């Protein structure tokens, strides 16, 4: 007689590390305490990069929504280290929460389906200190589809002072809902002059011209989903 398993995932052996993460995210008081500003590490506790990256991943994988309060846990860069961060499906996280994460020297930053962060607020990433963005290898920001059709931002609004944009090692860039006006050609060229190492570029929902692509000689993957007036760029 065969036995049907209702939840197959329960039969998959979990590593001791995964079990530890699961316990911690369900009992955050083991590593931190709650303040009006958000979660704060216990005194004299230091978490290395491998632990912090995994903590964010497992917090979300265990069904918890990433919030500004949880992001506050990583505010102190002397006691926490982040390298690769993926925030997904958070309805409440805002640029205030992202500010804590962007204090770190990130190699990868991915923001997916977080409607409280509007496209015109992505500027916070591009305005970071040069020493922080220099290490960035992958920047992926995917807007919710319902926002992509409504909230467009110009490249000027996005980048602010183009001189602050410094990501010479960036190889993977995903940006949705950006307007590259003809009047902003100088800004567009200045931006991509700083991103010549790009190999993968996704400009879905882009509105504007594409002449700047000629200078991206290392590019091998280009994604242009639902791009407006694409025929005019032929």
Query: Residue 37: inside a domain, yes or no?
Result: no
Predicted confidence band at 9 (pLDDT cuts at 50, 70, 90)?
very low
Mention every residue, 6+ apart, whose C-beta is less than 8 A from residue 34.
40, 69
Q: Identify the weakest region by mean pLDDT among 14-23, 83-92, 102-111, 130-139.
A: 130-139
User: From CA 94, how far away is CA 97, in angstroms rounded?
Assistant: 5
Q: Is residue 7 part of a domain?
A: no
Alpha-carbon span 81 to 169, nearest angstrom? 20
> What is the rounded average pLDDT of the residues 2-30?
72
User: What share of residues in the chain are helix, strand, coil (percent, to 5)?
Assistant: 40, 20, 45
Residue 5 lies in a domain: no
Q: Which residue has the higher pLDDT, 153 or 4?
A: 153
Residue 76 lies in a domain: yes
- Whether 82 is covered by a domain: the verdict is yes
Given phi > 0 = left and psi -120 to 50 = alpha, else beta, which region is 186?
alpha
| pLDDT at 109 exceeding the cut of 70 | yes
How many domains is the chain built from?
A: 1
More confident residue, 104 or 144: 104
Q: How far apart are CA 72 and CA 52, in angstroms?
A: 12
DSSP 28: G
3-state secondary structure at position 209: coil
- Domain enclosing residue 58, as ranges: 46-225
Under 8 Å between Cβ of 115 and 147: yes
Q: For residue 174, give the CATH number of its domain.
A: 3.80.10
Residue 219 lies in a domain: yes
Residue 21 falls inside a structural domain:
no
**28 within a domain of the structure (yes/no):** no
User: How many other β-carbons are positioned within 10 Å of the β-carbon of residue 159?
Assistant: 24
Q: Is the pLDDT of residue 84 over 90?
A: yes
């Amino acid at each position: 007689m065969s036995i049907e398993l209702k939840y197959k995932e329960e039969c998959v052996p979990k590593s001791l590390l995964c079990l530890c993460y699961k316990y911690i995210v369900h009992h955050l008081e083991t590593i931190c305490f709650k303040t009006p500003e958000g979660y704060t590490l216990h005194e004299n506790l230091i978490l290395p990069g491998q632990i912090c990256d995994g903590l964010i991943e497992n917090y979300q994988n265990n069904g918890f929504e990433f919030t500004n309060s949880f992001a506050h846990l990583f505010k102190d860069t002397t006691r926490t280290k982040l390298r690769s961060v993926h925030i997904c499906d958070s309805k409440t996280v805002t640029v205030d929460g992202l500010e804590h994460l962007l204090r770190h020297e990130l190699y990868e930053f991915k923001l997916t389906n977080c409607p409280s962060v509007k496209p015109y607020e992505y500027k916070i990433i591009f305005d970071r200190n040069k020493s922080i963005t220099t290490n960035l290898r992958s920047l992926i920001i995917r807007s919710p589809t319902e926002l992509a059709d409504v909230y467009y931002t110009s490249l000027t609004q996005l980048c602010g002072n183009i001189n602050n944009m410094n990501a010479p090692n960036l190889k993977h860039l995903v940006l949705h809902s950006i307007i590259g006006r003809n009047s902003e050609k100088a800004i567009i060229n200045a931006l991509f002059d700083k991103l010549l190492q790009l190999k993968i570029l996704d400009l879905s929902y882009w509105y504007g011209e594409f002449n700047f692509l000629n200078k991206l000689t290392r590019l091998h993957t280009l994604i242009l989903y639902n791009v407006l007036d694409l025929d005019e760029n032929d």
